[in-house]
C-alpha cells in the first residue's frame, strides 16, 4: 500500500514540476508586437481546434460511456470517462505551454542567443513530457487504489486510447491538409518561401505542427504508456487470483513506472548546452542519462522488493529493443545516411523513381524493427521461464521497460515543433538572417530526436499490444476455455500459455481481416487528407483571386478561413476510421467468435506494426531527401531533381504524419476494446 502512495506522490510531483515550468516559461517576455501577433494567431488556431475536437470527443466519450454503463456497469463507465479526461488535460496543458514557448524561443534567440533559446524550447517540451507521465500514473494509481478491479483499469486505458485515436487521426489530417495545401499553392505554384506571411495557409500550417506533432504524439505515447502498465497489472491479477501468486505482481508495474519518472526527472536536470556544443547532443545526453539512471533504479527496486530477477532483465530487453527501433528509424531517415541519399539521387532519374525508392527503403527499414521486437519478446519470455516468472507477465513488463522513460522521449519530441514554430515566427516577423539560421540549427537538432521518438513509439506500441493481446487471451481463456485448459492441464504447470488454435477457418479469417485493418484505416486517412486538401487549395486560390493585394503584400490574407477548413475537414473525416476501429473487433468477435477475435488482434498487430514503421520511415526519408537536394546536391533547389523530391515529400506527408502514427493507437484501441468487452462478446458470439 505504501508503494501505491509513493507511486501516486511521484506522479503528483511530475505534474507539479510540469506546471511550475509552464508557469515560468509563460512569465518570460514574449517579444515584439509583431511576434506576439503571429504567436497569438497560432495559439488561437490551436485552441480553437482543440476546443472543437474535444467537443466532438466528448460526444463520442459520452456515447461510449453509456454503452459501457449498460454493458459493464457504472465503475467501468466512470473510469473510462476519467481516462479520457486525464489524457485530454495532459494534451491541453502541454500544448498551451508549447504554443507559448515557441515565440519565447524566437525572442530568446534574438536577445540572448542559442543556449537560452534552446533551454526555453526544451523546457516548453518537458511540460508535455511530464504532464503525460504524471497524469497517466496519477490516474492509474488512483483507480487501482479506489476500485482494485481490472475491468475498471481497462476502462481507464480505453478512455485514454479513445482520446489518442481522435487526436492522432484528427490532428494528423489537420496538419497534413494545411501542410500540403500550403506547399502546393504557396511553394509550387507561387514560388513563395516556407512560412511566407502572404500564404493564406501559413497559420493553419503552424497550428497543424502543434496539434499534430505536440498534442498528437503526446496522446499516442500517453495511451501506449497507460496500456502497457495496465496490461501488466491485468496479467498480475490473473496470476494472483488464478495461480495464487503474490499480490506484488499486480502493483509492481506502478513501482517500475514511478522509477521511470524519477529517472526522467534526473535526466532532465542534465539538459544544458555546453560551450560549442551542438544542441542535438544535449538532447541525446538527456536521453542517455535517463536510460542509465532507469536501469540502476530498476535494479535497486528489484533487489529491494526481492522481486523476480526476470523482471529486471525483461525491462532491459524492452529498453534495448526501443533503442534498436529508434536508431534504425534514424538510419533510414537521416539526411547523412545512405538510404535517404539514394532516394535523393533517384530523383535525378525522375519523380517515379524517387517514389519507388522511398517506398522500397521504407519497407526495408522494417527488418531490424521486426527482429528487435521478436528478440525482446523471446528474451522476456525465456528469461521469465528460466527464473520461474509467469512468462506472459515478462513480456508485459518488457513493454513497460520500453516506455519507462517516455517522459524524456515526449519532452525531446515536443521540443521539435516548438523550435520549428519559433523559426516560422521569426520568418513571418521578418527577423534577421542570423537569428533565423540560429533557429534553423535548433530546428535541425529536433529532427533526430523526432525520428528516434517515432521508431520508439512504434516499437512501444507493438510490445504493448502484444502484452494486451496476451491479456485478452488470459481474460477470454479463463472465462471460457476452462475445458481446454483442463485438457492440457499437465502443460499448464510448466507452460501457462493458453491454447489458441490457428488451424480453424474462423481463426484464419480473423487473422486475414485483422491484417487488413491497418492498411484499410491508413487508406481511409490518406483519402481524407486528399479530399480535405482539395477543398483548402480551392479556398487559397479563391482568396488570392479575390484579393490581389495579398500577393503584393499590401493586404492580409484571411488566415482563419484556412484554419476553419482544416479543422472542419479533419473532424468530419476522422469519424469513419475512428468508428471502424472501435466497432470492428466487436463485430468480428460476435460473428466469428472470441478465438477469431484473438487472431484478428494478432493480424492487426503484425501489419499495424509493419505499416506504422514503413510509413514513418518512407515519409521521413522522402522529407530528408528533399532537404538533401536543397542543401545543394544533385542540382539543388529549383532543379528537376528537386521538383521530383518535392513530390516525394508530399506523398510522404500523410504517410508519416497522418496514417503511420494513427496505426499505433488504432491497434491499441482494438486490443483494449476486445479485452474490455470480452464478457459481452463472449455472450453474444455465434462461434465459441
- Residues 248-287 within binding reach of a copy of itself (CB under 8 A): none
Stretch that binds a copy of itself, among 3-11, 35-43, 369-377, 548-556 (CB under 8 A): 369-377
Contact status: 580 vs a copy of itself (CB under 8 A): no
Contact status: 511 vs a copy of itself (CB under 8 A): yes
What is the distance between the alpha carbons of residues 304 and 2, in angstroms, rounded to a whole number? 14
Q: Which of 276, 306, 503, 552 binds a copy of itself (CB under 8 A)?
A: 503
Q: State the nearest-atom distance from the C-beta of 458 to a copy of itself, in Å.
A: 13
> Comparing C-alpha atoms, which of 168, 203, 155 is closest to residue 39?
203
Residue 456, helix vs strand vs coil: helix
Contact status: 490 vs a copy of itself (CB under 8 A): yes
Contact status: 512 vs a copy of itself (CB under 8 A): yes
What is the distance between the alpha carbons of residues 289 and 315, in angstroms, rounded to a whole number? 17
> Comparing C-alpha atoms, which of 544, 673, 674, 518 is closest to residue 609?
518
Contact status: 602 vs a copy of itself (CB under 8 A): yes
What is the distance between the alpha carbons of residues 301 and 254, in angstroms, rounded to a whole number? 12
Contact 250, 153 (CB under 8 A): no
> Comparing C-alpha atoms, which of 185, 225, 190 is closest to residue 201?
185
Q: State the nearest-atom distance from the C-beta of 56 to a copy of itself, in Å.
A: 24
What is the distance between the alpha carbons of residues 302 and 309, in angstroms, rounded to a whole number? 7
Stretch that binds a copy of itself, among 199-207, 220-228, 508-516, 678-686 (CB under 8 A): 508-516
- Give just the sign of the alpha carbon dihedral 386, 392, 395, 397: negative
Residues between 347 and 366 that touch a copy of itself (CB under 8 A): 349-353, 355-357, 359-364, 366
Q: Which of 654, 663, 667, 672 binds a copy of itself (CB under 8 A)?
A: 654
Residues between 114 and 153 that touch a copy of itself (CB under 8 A): none
Q: Which of 142, 370, 575, 576 binds a copy of itself (CB under 8 A)?
A: 370
Contact 419, 109 (CB under 8 A): no
Q: Which of 73, 309, 497, 635 binds a copy of itself (CB under 8 A)?
A: 497
Q: What is the residue-wise DSSP string for 30-82?
A: ---HHHHHHHHHHHHHHHHHHHHHHHHHHHHHHHHHHHHHHHH-HHHHHHHHH
How many residues of this chain bind a copy of itself (CB under 8 A)? Answer: 86
Q: Considering just the CA atoms, what is the radius of gyration of the chain in Å?
A: 24
Q: State the nearest-atom distance from the C-beta of 378 to a copy of itself, in Å.
A: 5
What is the distance between the alpha carbons of residues 113 and 107, in angstroms, rounded to a whole number? 9
Residues between 435 and 474 that touch a copy of itself (CB under 8 A): 466, 469-470, 473
> Comparing C-alpha atoms, which of 451, 12, 406, 42 is closest to residue 207?
42
Residue tagged 522509477 (cell numbers): 259
CA 152 to mean position of chain CA atoms: 24
Stretch that binds a copy of itself, among 70-78, 140-148, 413-421, 494-502 (CB under 8 A): 494-502
Q: 270 CB contacts (<8 Å, ≥6 apart)?
A: 285, 286, 289
Residues between 521 and 560 that touch a copy of itself (CB under 8 A): 522-524, 526-527, 529-530, 533-534, 537
Residues between 315 and 354 that touch a copy of itself (CB under 8 A): 346, 349-353
Residues between 171 and 190 that touch a copy of itself (CB under 8 A): 180, 184, 188
Contact status: 380 vs a copy of itself (CB under 8 A): yes
Contact status: 597 vs a copy of itself (CB under 8 A): no
Stretch that binds a copy of itself, among 29-37, 113-121, 161-169, 487-495 (CB under 8 A): 487-495
Q: State the nearest-atom distance from the C-beta of 352 to a copy of itself, in Å.
A: 4
Amino acid at each position: 500500500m505504501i508503494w501505491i502512495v509513493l507511486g501516486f506522490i511521484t506522479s503528483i510531483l511530475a505534474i507539479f514540476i510540469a506546471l511550475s515550468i509552464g508557469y515560468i516559461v509563460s512569465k518570460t517576455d514574449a517579444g515584439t508586437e509583431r511576434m506576439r501577433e503571429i504567436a497569438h494567431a497560432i495559439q488561437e488556431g490551436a485552441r480553437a481546434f482543440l476546443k472543437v475536437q474535444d467537443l466532438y470527443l466528448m460526444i463520442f466519450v459520452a456515447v461510449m460511456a453509456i454503452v459501457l454503463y449498460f454493458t459493464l456497469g457504472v465503475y467501468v463507465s466512470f473510469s473510462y470517462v476519467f481516462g479520457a479526461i486525464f489524457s485530454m488535460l495532459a494534451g491541453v496543458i502541454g500544448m498551451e505551454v508549447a504554443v507559448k514557448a515557441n515565440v519565447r524561443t524566437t525572442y530568446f534567440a534574438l536577445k540572448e542567443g542559442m543556449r537560452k533559446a534552446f533551454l526555453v524550447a526544451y523546457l516548453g517540451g518537458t511540460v508535455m513530457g511530464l504532464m503525460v507521465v504524471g497524469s497517466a500514473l496519477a490516474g492509474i494509481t488512483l483507480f487501482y487504489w479506489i476500485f482494485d478491479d481490472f475491468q475498471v483499469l481497462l476502462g481507464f486505458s480505453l478512455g485514454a486510447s479513445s482520446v489518442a485515436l481522435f487526436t492522432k487521426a484528427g490532428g494528423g489530417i489537420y496538419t497534413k491538409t494545411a501542410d500540403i495545401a500550403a506547399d502546393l499553392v504557396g511553394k509550387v505554384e507561387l514560388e513563395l518561401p516556407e512560412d511566407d506571411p502572404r500564404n493564406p495557409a501559413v497559420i493553419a500550417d503552424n497550428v497543424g505542427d502543434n496539434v499534430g506533432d505536440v498534442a498528437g504524439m503526446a496522446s499516442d505515447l500517453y495511451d501506449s504508456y497507460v496500456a502497457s502498465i495496465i496490461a501488466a497489472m491485468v496479467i498480475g491479477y490473473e496470476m494472483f487470483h488464478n495461480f495464487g501468486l503474490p499480490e506484488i505482481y499486480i502493483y509492481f508495474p506502478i513501482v517500475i513506472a514511478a522509477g521511470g519518472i524519477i529517472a526522467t526527472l534526473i535526466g532532465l536536470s542534465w539538459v544544458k548546452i555546453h560551450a560549442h556544443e551542438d544542441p542535438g547532443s544535449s538532447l541525446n545526453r538527456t536521453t542517455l542519462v535517463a536510460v542509465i539512471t532507469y536501469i540502476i533504479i530498476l535494479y535497486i527496486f528489484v533487489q529491494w522488493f526481492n522481486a523476480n530477477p526476470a523482471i529486471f532483465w525483461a525491462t532491459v530487453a524492452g529498453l534495448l529493443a526501443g533503442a534498436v527501433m529508434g536508431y534504425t528509424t534514424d538510419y533510414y531517415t537521416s539526411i547523412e545516411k545512405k538510404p535517404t541519399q539514394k532516394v535523393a539521387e533517384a530523383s535525378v532519374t525522375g519523380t517515379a523513381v524517387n517514389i519507388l525508392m522511398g517506398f522500397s527503403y521504407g519497407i526495408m527499414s522494417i527488418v531490424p524493427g521486426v527482429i528487435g521486437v521478436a528478440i525482446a519478446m523471446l528474451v522476456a519470455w525465456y528469461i521469465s521461464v528460466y527464473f520461474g516468472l509467469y512468462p506472459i507477465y515478462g513480456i508485459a513488463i518488457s513493454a513497460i521497460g520500453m516506455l519507462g522513460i517516455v517522459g524524456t522521449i515526449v519532452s525531446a519530441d515536443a521540443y521539435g515543433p516548438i523550435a520549428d514554430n519559433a523559426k516560422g515566427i521569426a520568418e513571418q516577423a521578418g527577423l534577421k538572417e542570423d537569428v533565423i539560421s540560429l533557429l534553423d540549427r535548433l530546428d535541425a537538432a529536433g529532427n533526430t530526436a523526432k525520428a528516434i521518438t517515432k521508431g520508439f513509439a512504434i516499437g512501444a506500441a507493438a510490445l504493448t499490444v502484444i502484452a494486451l493481446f496476451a491479456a485478452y487471451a488470459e481474460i477470454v481463456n479463463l472465462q471460457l476455455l476452462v475445458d481446454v485448459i483442463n485438457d492440457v492441464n499437465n502443460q499448464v504447470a510448466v507452460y501457462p500459455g493458453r491454447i489458441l488454435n490457428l488451424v480453424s477457418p474462423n481463426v484464419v479469417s480473423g487473422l486475414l481481416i485483422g491484417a487488413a485493418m491497418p492498411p484499410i484505416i491508413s487508406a481511409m486517412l490518406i483519402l481524407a487528407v486528399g479530399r480535405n486538401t482539395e477543398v483548402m487549395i480551392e479556398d487559397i486560390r479563391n482568396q488570392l483571386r479575390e484579393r490581389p493585394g495579398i500577393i503584393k503584400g499590401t493586404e492580409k490574407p484571411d488566415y482563419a478561413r484556412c484554419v476553419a477548413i482544416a479543422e472542419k475537414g479533419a473532424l468530419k473525416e476522422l469519424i469513419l476510421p475512428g468508428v471502424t476501429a472501435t466497432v470492428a473487433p466487436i463485430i468480428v468477435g460476435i460473428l466469428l467468435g472470441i478465438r477469431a477475435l484473438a487472431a484478428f488482434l494478432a493480424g492487426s498487430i503484425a501489419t499495424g506494426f509493419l505499416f506504422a514503421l514503413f510509413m514513418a520511415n518512407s515519409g521521413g526519408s522522402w522529407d530528408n531527401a528533399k532537404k538533401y537536394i536543397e542543401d545543394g546536391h544533385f542540382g539543388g533547389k529549383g532543379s528537376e531533381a528537386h521538383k521530383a523530391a518535392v513530390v516525394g515529400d508530399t506523398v510522404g506527408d500523410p504517410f508519416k504524419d497522418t496514417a503511420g502514427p494513427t496505426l499505433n493507437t488504432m491497434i491499441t484501441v482494438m486490443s483494449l476494446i476486445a479485452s474490455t468487452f470480452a464478457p459481452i462478446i463472449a455472450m453474444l458470439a455465434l462461434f465459441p
